[in-house]
Structure 1
Amino acid sequence: MHRVVVLALDELVLLDFGAASQFFGHRHRDPDPAQYEFQVCTAGGAPVRTACGVTVTGQGGLELLGHADTVIVPGYGPITDPLPTATVSALRGAAARGARMVSICTGAFALGHSGLLDGRRATTHWAVADDMSRLFPAAKVEANVLYVDDGDVLSSGGVAAGIDLCLHIVRNDFGAEVANRIARRTLVAPHRAGDQAQFVEHRLPHPVTPTIDMARLLSWLDDRLERPLSVAEMAGHIGYSTRSFGRHFRAQFGTSPWKWVARQRVLRAQRLLEASDLTVAQIATRCGFESTVAFRRRFRELVHISPSDYRRAFRTTPNGSAHASGHTPA
């Protein structure tokens, strides 16, 4: 059985810790092939304070890292201070032994202080990404993504992105069907691609003109997803030049207009694959793709499985139960 050990550091971010505990430590009533041996360790085995004031107690000290197949470090603080030598040695030792090293939110700073991000791609909460780049210049910080999978070093953005990373790990370990079933039971999105943008607060030199109603634009786009759309047409609908429109759209939504449309088309396709009897070709047309080939390519790029595989995993009957697997949602 795969052994997951969470390293709880002082001022632990409880929601980050909860995500790891839910997906790797929680035991459900129904038989579940995604079973992990789950433990929590702290420096010296002592209880640690969380950022909200409660304390967390582990099953042991840093020695537990010596037997971990996966080490997870949730967010903690203060993140700019170096870690104690014993903690650094334990993390380095686990990595050298071949353990998969995972961080959630600001937990990436613990990996950075241990030298485990040097030459590696990584992310953290967007608000402290600049600090991470400054403290660990040898790391390749990708500031505005949900999570990064760099082989045996994985990291996520803040809070909710840790859920996406945990599901990604379960998917890698046990397959899409198991991860999708757990997502349904936990009532979270089954898959968000790691390169999806975090919801970043961009500060523009001048406020957006109040007459531009982005909510109205998005509603207009949603009604036209099955039609050919151009950035120029989107910009013209709200009276902007193409260049200015693209800049303002990215500032508000963290992605380009064209990528936003592509994702919305794939999201609509996911719903149709789950709940309709339309063929893949019909869904491609209804969602605005120029061809079935283009639809399959974009769907696999964003969801990482084929439309047919997605339908087999998520197909539901009229009463809402999973058709392919026979599991009922939570």
Structure 2
Amino acid sequence: MKLINIYGGCNLRMNVSCVFNNKLYFCSQSNILISDDNKIQTRILLENYLNFINVKNNIIISGDNLGVFYYIIDNKINKIKFLESIQNGIFLDNETVVLLFLKKIIIYNIVNNQTVKEYVSSQLICSVSFQSNKLFIGYAEGTLRIFNLDFKLLAKIQAHFDRIQDIKISKFNLDILIATSSKDNTVKIWRWYTNNLINIQTLVGHNDWVFNINWMENLNIITASADKKIIEWKYEGGTWSSNLVFGGAKTFYNAFNIRNKIIGQSHSGAFYLFENVIKDFISGHTDGISSLDWNGEFLLSTSIDKTARIFHKHREVGRPVSHGYPLSSGKFIDKKI
């Protein structure tokens, strides 16, 4: 039996998709799926529902809702069990990672398998990023705090009016530029200068939570929001302005650029691919499949993810038909349709 194709929907949350070497990595239930811009090429089966994924120099890190941290090197799966669910993880270098829990951050060495440093907060931590031996941490009440790697506080600022969903950093000449997105519907650009955060600009264009930010070439920025929009912000003359706006049927959790194509991670579990026109791209269910029916040309699938989907010639056709409850079965009424 020859494997023709793999279908899989992305988990419905932030931090579960990323790009490395022009390949898309994403979490599908307990699987890590790896795709080029045409189809899914690789599947890595882990144990539980995955909360995040990150990739650097062909090292994959991920974590699940039961507190298991996975790092995959040369196709070997290594795992460490923590007591809490891991919300996100980023790299410091090839040997050290930062793991984000609800009110705790752990710096962990994956070569020695040991905790290097631990920071416990009295407040909910929502996001973390790293640059130039500094950790930039976003909190639920909208504060942005900067620590050194010993967790000595260097600066604190009320960056947003609500929780900071994402922090991404770009180094430009001698400047460290920080982009933050928030539940207050805004994106803010900051400069880190002599141990101070200076607000350069507030980007207003979304009308709902801004989940994710990614830096692009030439200091352009792309943002994904619960308002069902992806916005590309163009940098010109020292400021950013809305350049392109892309839309979908549901919330976008993430958006990035691969080979000059915009890809958006949707709440439907599918990825949208935008060029000059919208194209079909990776899709599939986000939970267990309950039934399949084949009419000789089309394949109908139903799932406990509350959707029914139809596939034709190795791709999903149309948008998922959503219901308010898990589906147990589905059938073609007329085999000619």
After TM superposition, is the score higher than 0.5? no
Q: Which has the higher contact order (CA 8 A, sep 6+)?
A: 1
TM-score, length-normalised on structure 1? Answer: 0.28
Higher relative helix content? 1
Mark the structure with the bigger radius of gyration. 1
Higher relative strand content? 2
TM-score, length-normalised on structure 2? Answer: 0.28
